[in-house]
Structure 1
Amino acid sequence: MTWHGPTFRISDGERVDGAWCLVWRKDEWLDAHHPEHLFVYADGRITRGKYEATDLAGLAKLLASGKIGLTPPGTPPWSAPDPKWESRYPEPLTAESFLVEVADEITRLAGRPTAADRCWEAVRAYRAQPTEERRALLRDAYLAVPAHNRVYVLGDMDLQDRPLRTLLTDLGQAVDGDGPVATEEMHDRARAYFADLFDGEAAAKERRAVLYADEPAAAPEPPVVLCEVVYPNGWPVEPGPFTLRNDFDAPIDHRGRTYPTVAHAYWALSAADPADHDRVLACPTAREAQDTGGRAPRRADWPGVRLAVMAALLRAKFDQHPRLAEVLLATGEAGILYTGFSDAPFWRDEGPNGGRNWMGRLLELIRSELRAAVQGVPS
């Protein structure tokens, strides 16, 4: 089955992750079938559509009764062509193997090892200690993978799962029943396959460690969310995160002109006509500056330079207002999410709906520059 996601539902105020696949539901009134989504969730809940809840046992009954089908009505049964060894195809999807797959998907959503994960762990254990006992455990782990997915368990498009099936076939027995008789030499080749695979994995891991040597090792701090706020009676005396927003009254000098806020400067500098620039500059509030600047024709080069202009304005703000620089530095290493409704999605974070959050990114950049300056580190 093809699983889609992510999705989720809220249960007792908690998010429960889920996924869905397509099944065929029987309409008993019309004696017909129609496609429907089957949702599964990390807590084991299963729903047809989004509302008819059941569990694994209930799903088994629905499959056995024919109320849910896995293929469109009238689809002829499929079987792999002979000989099986030379033409390796997935095992047919059955109700039994689908139930195993659903249980496995619930396990994955819950953050626990899947059957494929456990199979790989058994491969590693056998490679570390290649005993008959470990090989038997590996066979059990392989057979625990949903039958129609076993061919994919190694992720090898060329050899598929042949090395694993060869290794699990007892000496003197035909692989897959119609393949070559397993020999010690074949087992050695299978073991060599996994040795090469894990050696390559170790080399790739070492290479990633070198390439990503500057990746932060500590867990990320919770993000700082800069919400859009309004203070009808004026800004609070004690500076807080609200001072990091562009509409905060922090005059800045930029190229010989003084602007009441970053917002004034940004919209004034975007104007193509000097007269519009001055009208924006004269606006009594940042909101009016944005409204005025938003109506004025913009410079032809503005899309290509606006990030550089905003970065320069932010540097001016925090260089010229040390107390505000302290507020920015106090956010630590946390990500900064610049939210609200007045700025374009290019500048703000919109959560699951998108937003590029360039204001948040630039504030993180300026914060890093300020910290480097405080510590005397050349930037």
Structure 2
Amino acid sequence: MSSSKLLADAEIKMDQPIKFYSTGDEYGEFSNFAAYPIRIGNRIWPTSEHYFQAMKFKDKKDQEQIRKANSPMLAARMGRDRKRTLRKDWESAKVNVMREALLAKFTQHEELRELLLGTGDAKIIEHTTNDDYWGDGGDGRGKNMLGRLLVDVRSTLREDLSKPKLE
């Protein structure tokens, strides 16, 4: 195959949206369930899902229980438990909390940063019928907020790369 054909195929692929959901799938690293610990403040969170779910609550005891959950799925269940008192500003804060978690994840793990930057200008979509806010709802009508935030983080990482290094 000629090099121009390979380049054309690569460009076509970059025009295609990148869809992810399960951690075992291509681009599964983009999932909040992917096992990439993040440090925020003086605490280490096993996954970005643990952090996101814990931040729903003001009570430090609730946050710590979720941080120590044995899996991101358990952390998600705990975060959806309405026996815990949700912080009053959660609806207005949740996108910024997710952005903070993603920035930590993609700046603290070089291989993830490279993977995200390697997506070029492709649209990134969390493709799932389970969620029409963070995902696309399975039919493209969802808000895809997670995918949109990943595109924002990709732009931020590019900006950081273009800044001159101070020595």
The TM tier, using the shorter chain, reads 0.7 to 0.9
As a proportion of its length, which structure holds more helix? Answer: 2
- TM-align CA RMSD: 1.9
Q: How does 1:138-149 map to 2 (within 5 A)?
A: none
* 8 A Cα contact 1:228 1:340, kept in partner: no
In 1: Cα distance, 2:23 partner to 2:98 partner: 21
Query: Is the aligned partner of 1:362 residue 2:149?
Result: yes
Matched, 1:279 2:62: no
Larger Rg: 1 or 2? 1
Structural mapping, 1:23-38, within 5 Å: none
SS of the aligned residue for 2:96 comes to helix
**Distance change in 2, residues 1:349/1:297 (3 Å):** same
Q: Give the Å deviation of 1:327.
A: 0.6
- Measure, in 2, the Cα distance between the counterparts of 1:319 and 1:372: 13
TM-score by length of 2: 0.82
Q: CA deviation at 1:376?
A: 2.5
Q: Which runs of 5+ in 2 are unaligned?
A: 1-13
Partner of 1:300: 88
Contact 2:37-2:105 at 8 Å conserved across structures: yes
Where do residues 175-254 of structure 1 align in structure 2 (5 Å cutoff)?
A: 221-229=15-23, 241-254=27-40
* Offset at residue 228 of structure 1 (A): 2.3
2:106: which partner in 1?
A: 318
- Deviation string 1:117-170 (CA, Å, 9 cap, x unpaired) is xxxxxxxxxxxxxxxxxxxxxxxxxxxxxxxxxxxxxxxxxxxxxxxxxxxxxx
**SS at structure 1 position matched to 2:139:** helix
Q: Structure 1: 5+ residue runs without aligned partners?
A: 1-219, 232-239
User: Are 1:288 and 2:74 counterparts?
Assistant: yes
Q: Which segment is superposed worse, 275-284 or 349-358?
A: 349-358
User: % of aligned pairs identical?
Assistant: 30
Instruction: Return the letter of the residue paired with 2:126.
Output: Y
Offset at residue 294 of structure 1 (A)? 0.8
Q: Which has the higher strand share?
A: 1
Give the deviation of 1:341 after TM superposition.
4.5
Q: CA deviation at 1:279?
A: 1.2
Q: Which has the higher contact order (CA 8 A, sep 6+)?
A: 2
Instruction: Letter of the 1:298 partner, please give it.
Output: L
Aligned partners of 1:247 and 1:273: how far apart in 2? 23
The 8 Å contact of residues 276 and 293 in structure 1, kept in 2 or not, is answered as: no
Q: Distance in 2 between matches of 1:301 and 1:318?
A: 26
TM-score (norm 1): 0.37
Aligned length: 149
Q: Aligned partner of 1:245: which letter?
A: S
Q: 1:243 to 1:346 in 2, by over 3 A?
A: same
Structure 2 distance, partners of 1:317, 1:353, is: 26
Summarize the Cα distance change of 1:230–1:292 in structure 2 as closer, same or farther, 3 Å threshold: farther
Task: Give, in whole Å, the separation in 1 of the partners of 2:74 and 2:47.
Answer: 12
- Please tell me the residue identity of whatever aligns with 1:224: I
CA distance in 2, matches of 1:359, 1:264: 15
Aligned mates of 1:256, 1:229 — CA distance in 2? 27
Q: How much does 1:273 deviate?
A: 2.3
Q: Distance in 2 between matches of 1:259 and 1:274?
A: 14
SS where residue 142 of structure 2 aligns? coil
Deviation of 1:230 after TM superposition, in Å, equals 5.0
**Aligned-pair distance for 1:272?**
3.2
In 1, Cα distance between equivalents of 2:127 and 2:112? 19
1:318-341 residue CA offsets vs partner (Å, 9 max, x unmatched) = 111111100111111000011225
Could you tell me which amino acid in structure 1 is paired with residue 156 of structure 2? E
SS of residue in 2 equivalent to 1:291:
helix
Return closer, same or farther for 1:251/1:297 CA change in 2, 3 Å cut-off: same
Separation in 2 of the partners of 1:247 and 1:327?
Answer: 17
Distance 2:127 2:58 in 1: 28
Amino acid at match of 2:73: R
- Cα distance, 1:265–1:257 mapped onto 2, change above 3 Å: same
1:256 to 42, 51, 61: 42
> 1:335 corresponds to which letter in structure 2?
K
Secondary structure of 2:44's counterpart equals strand
1:244: Cα distance to partner?
A: 1.2
